[in-house]
Amino acid sequence: MPFLELTLPCTEAQQPRYERALEDVGALAVTLADAHADAPDEQAIFEPGVGQTPLWGEMVLTALFPGDTPSELLLHALAAHDEGLDWSRARFREVEDQDWERAWMDQYAPLKFGARTWIVPWNHALPEGADADDAAVVRLDPGLAFGSGTHPTTALCLQWLDALAGEGQVAGRDVLDFGCGSGILALAALKLGAVRAVGIDNDPQAVAATLDNAQRNGVEDRMSVHLPGDAPTGTYPVVVANILASALIELADVIGEQVAPGGQLALSGILAGQEDDVIAVYAARFDDLRAERLEDWIRVTGVRRG
């Protein structure tokens, strides 16, 4: 079924009123984009402050309506809903429906991390090397949760797990994936020989996606996934947390206490320039803290003291 798409430029101050009006007259979805995304000095918004929803000064608002919605009647309804808004710059076009997730997966190619870790989409044959006896292959359908291996933060963690496994520090051990997203890191650890993996995420969709991916990879009997309030207590010899720097700092006590003495920790999701703040907080519990960079992102690793 096709959709009717409405696009409209607006400012940060106007955005709440425009969005409220669109939702009230039946918009199926409303999204925002930077009006100057191609400007060389434009900065992406990576980390909002607590309780904040930062927006660009000027943006393009897009709304989807059922395809049979008359555009003229829709404009009349919007104008009547809030007479103080200007809808004269609204533009309409028809967009065809498609399975956006599957279309994305069709573009997604197998990726190798380290010596033997592979992330391969469900709809792709195993590439050469991924069919080796010692290959650790995760068949992934990220679904609604972040974590496909393509982002540098995830790649840094996969490389670390692969290297750690090469040193004999993953096989036969328990692993905690804090902020598990799609479960990609926990799944990789299990494929590298971990005896059990525990995932924690505050997004119920991430919990569902991780459980689904664990089942499809045949490791559901060795994987458990929890919301933070339901997470088991205890410590782990291997812990990886791929979340934003602000959250890593705020949750330093929570994360740090879950690493067993002598255990290995990897922290990712850190923008270049933020690593010193993260290291300063974790230095209270961890030795041998090191930062490694991939593109604009940093991974910090360390060993739990005593």
B/e letters for 90-123, b = 16+ CB within 10 Å, e = fewer, are: beeeeeeeeeeeeeebeebebbbbbebbbbbbee
Q: Is 202 annotated as a binding residue?
A: no
59 and 35 in contact (C-beta within 8 Å)?
yes
Residue 34, Cβ neighbours under 10 Å: how many?
17
On whether 276 is known to bind a ligand per the annotation, the reply is no
User: Is position 179 annotated in a ligand binding site?
Assistant: yes
> Cβ contacts of residue 231 below 8 Å, gap of 6+?
198, 200
Q: 154 among the known binding-site residues?
A: yes
User: Which among 140, 132, 117, 127 has a CA at the least distance from the CA of 217?
Assistant: 140
Quote the Cα angle for 197-177-117, to 5°.
75
Q: How many Cβ atoms are within 10 Å of 247's Cβ, its own excluded?
A: 17
Q: Is 176 helix (H, G, I), strand (E, B) or coil?
A: strand
Q: From the annotation, which residues make up the binding site for S-adenosyl-L-methionine?
A: 154, 179, 201, 242
Q: From the annotation, which residues make up the binding site?
A: 154, 179, 201, 242
